[in-house]
């Protein structure tokens, strides 16, 4: 059986494309030659299976009053059990947690990440090895977000809170015995300034392809 990597994330794991001109198919989702999950699969080769679990709007633990089933905590058991055996869980969340309407600062978002991680660690999906989780801090939202209609709905304070996530998530990783990577520097588009562009997907995949082989049991 191949080593199995499950990627739990939001729209940047689903592959949402805010700029159709940046997507080969001209649509709202990057294709299989562009998404970081698919690029990671190609880089790691046939001995590894990379599974996407990306949902636009997903948070760590915070229910969204405007949209249903957005928190990863409430579906973590079902996702992990449906995809077992999981050899490595990659969690890249936190961007949506910064939304003004959710009322969480960076420290609270990190506590949410800790709660989610501990839930995932408790699920019997890891086969014969110990729970194995990589927390990826998403790139910080660019302040130009405020110039976009999508940014207006996100609300005030998102760039400032997202800028602090890596520092807090590093502490969460240390506390829970997880691996950690900061995705800062992976490029966003210049439309909403919070979604990876095609180049950003490639950059993230390249970083993970270098790191992940050493994390697999």
pLDDT recorded at residue 7 = 98
Q: Which residues pair with 49 in a beta bridge?
A: 4
pLDDT over threshold 90, residue 88: yes
CATH topology of domain 3-215: Rossmann fold (3.40.50)
Q: Given this model, what pLDDT does residue 149 score? A: 78
Buried b (16+ CB within 10 A) or exposed e, 6-40: bbbbbbbbbbbbbeeebbeeeeeebeeebbbbbbb
pLDDT score of 199 more than 90? yes
Domain ranges of the chain: 3-215
Q: Residue 151 has what pLDDT? A: 81
Percentage of residues of the chain with pLDDT beyond 70: 100
Whole-number pLDDT of residue 150: 78
The pLDDT of residue 76 is: 98
The two counts, helices (H) then strands (E), for the chain are: 7, 5
Question: What would the DSSP string read from start to end of 9-42?
Answer: ESHHHHTB-S-GGGSTTSSSB--TTTSHHHHHHH
- 179: β partners: 134
Run of H or E including 171: helix 158-176
DSSP state letter for 45: -
Nearest to 184, CA basis, from 141, 138, 143 = 138
**If you compute the radius of gyration of the chain from its CA atoms, what whole number of angstroms results?**
16
| Residue 101 predicted with pLDDT over 90 | yes
Average pLDDT value for residue range 1-8: 97
Measured CA to CA in angstroms, residue 76 lies from 30, 41, 71, 104, 125 at distances of 25, 22, 9, 21, 11
* 125-184 tens-digit pLDDT: 999 999 999 999 999 999 999 888 778 889 999 999 999 999 999 999 999 999 999 999
- If you ran DSSP here, which 8-state letter would residue 90 be given? E
Region 74-97 average pLDDT: 98
Specify whether the CB–CB gap between 36 and 214 falls below 8 A: no
Name the E strands within 36-154.
Answer: 48-54, 88-92, 133-137
pTM assigned to the model? 0.97
- What's the pLDDT score for residue 148? 80
Question: What integer pLDDT is reported at residue 61 of this predicted model?
Answer: 98
């Amino acid at each position: 059986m191949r080593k199995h990597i499950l990627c739990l994330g939001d729209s940047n794991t689903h592959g949402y494309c805010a700029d159709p001109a940046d997507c080969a198919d001209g649509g709202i989702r990057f294709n299989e030659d562009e998404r970081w999950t698919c690029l990671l699969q190609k880089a790691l080769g046939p001995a590894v299976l990379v599974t996407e679990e990306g949902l636009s709007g997903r948070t760590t633990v915070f229910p969204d009053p405007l949209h249903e089933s957005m928190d990863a905590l409430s579906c973590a058991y079902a996702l992990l059990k449906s995809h077992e055996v999981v050899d490595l869980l990659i969690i890249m969340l936190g961007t949506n947690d910064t939304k003004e309407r959710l009322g969480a600062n960076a420290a609270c978002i990190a506590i949410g990440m800790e709660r989610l991680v501990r839930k995932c660690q408790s699920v019997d999906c890891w086969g014969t090895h110990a729970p194995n989780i990589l927390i990826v801090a998403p790139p910080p939202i660019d302040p130009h977000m405020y110039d976009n209609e999508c940014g207006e709905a996100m609300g005030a304070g998102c760039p400032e809170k997202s800028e602090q996530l890596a520092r807090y998530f590093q502490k969460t990783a240390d506390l829970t015995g997880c691996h950690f990577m900061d995705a800062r520097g992976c490029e966003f588009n210049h439309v909403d300034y919070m979604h990876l562009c095609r180049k950003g997907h490639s950059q993230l995949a390249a970083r993970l392809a270098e790191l992940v082989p050493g994390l697999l049991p």
